[in-house]
A and B are shown apart, each in its own frame.
Chain A
């Protein structure tokens, strides 16, 4: 069960009319290392992971939905006042023909989201390393997005999201350490 707070995790402000950027932000909406993939990956894996780290996957999976909401807000703000002609110039013509102004879960190249983006092997160590890799890949995607805009307000929100990936990656590494501990060898002082 979730409790919804009707506000964003971090403010999203867009200070420049730039529907072109919306097209690239979609990578973090419905791409392989995007926020939807991340949320579903962790919230799915948590059922078959040792009890000690279930809470971590629940917490981070939930936060990923908060990030998804921020990305959606960015895309919406960048496209809501664009004419079909402007969308076409921005490279969003195919999206318009398919969905009008609505968003869809595909990556920046228009490839639809697929469940195979969610790595789940059922082996706790393998799954956590999948998660660490996913966080570092998402961090890199945010870097390339920051490189792709000169809108300082948009960059500010993207930098917040990038930093969260760094923290999540470390938390997953700590989860690996927790699972590595051999109870018989643990020193009790």
Chain B
């Protein structure tokens, strides 16, 4: 479900590029961009879960997979 936070675009690829092209590039848009003022009484994580995730609010959680070996800017998971 968190895949919905990712956007992609296809940069121009020249036949003269020296390196193998990355055809699709990805970037993340975190959920704070869609909330102007957080509504009251949203669901909450348990306190332990909230500490682990860094937020009390599922509506604001944004996972980030490492792109250490990913080509094109999006990791798996």
A contacts, CB < 8 Å to B: 10, 139, 142-143, 146-150, 155, 159-164, 166-167, 169-170, 173-174, 177
Question: Which residues of chain B come closer than 8 Å to A10, judged between CB atoms?
Answer: 51, 54
User: B residues near A, CB below 8 A?
Assistant: 28, 30-32, 35-38, 51-55, 57, 60-64, 66-68, 75
Question: Which residue on chain A has the smallest CB distance to residue B34?
Answer: A170
Pair A139/B67 contact, Cβ less than 8 Å: no
Q: Chain A interface secondary structure, helix, strand, loop or mixed?
A: helix
Q: What residues of B have a CB within 8 angstroms of the CB of A149 in the complex? A: 66, 68
With A10-B54, A174-B37 already in contact, the answer to whether A166 and B60 are too (CB < 8 A) is yes
Contacts of B60 in A (CB 8 A): 163, 166-167, 170
A170–B38 CA distance with the chains assembled, in angstroms:
8
State in angstroms the CA–CA spacing of A149 and B66 once bound together. 8
Main secondary structure of the interface of B (DSSP, over half): loop
Q: Are B36 and A146 in contact (CB under 8 A)?
A: no
Q: Which residues of A contact B62 (CB under 8 A)?
A: 162-163, 166
A148, A150, A166: which contacts B31 (Cβ < 8 A)?
A: A166
Distance in angstroms from A168 CB to nearest chain B CB is 9
Which 6 pairs from chain A and chain B are nearest by CB? A163-B54, A170-B32, A160-B54, A147-B67, A166-B30, A146-B66
Are B66 and A150 in contact, CB atoms less than 8 angstroms apart? yes
Supply 11 further A-B pairs (C-beta < 8 A) apart from A149-B68, A159-B64, A174-B36: A146-B64, A147-B66, A148-B68, A160-B52, A163-B54, A164-B55, A167-B55, A169-B30, A170-B38, A173-B35, A173-B36
Nearest-neighbor residue (CB-CB) of B61 within chain A:
A163
Nearest B residue to A11 via CB reads B51
> Contacts A149-B66, A174-B38 hold; do A143 and B55 have CB atoms under 8 A apart?
no
A177 to B37, CA, bound (A): 7
* Interface core residue of A143, A148, A155, A177 (most chain B CB under 10 Å): A143
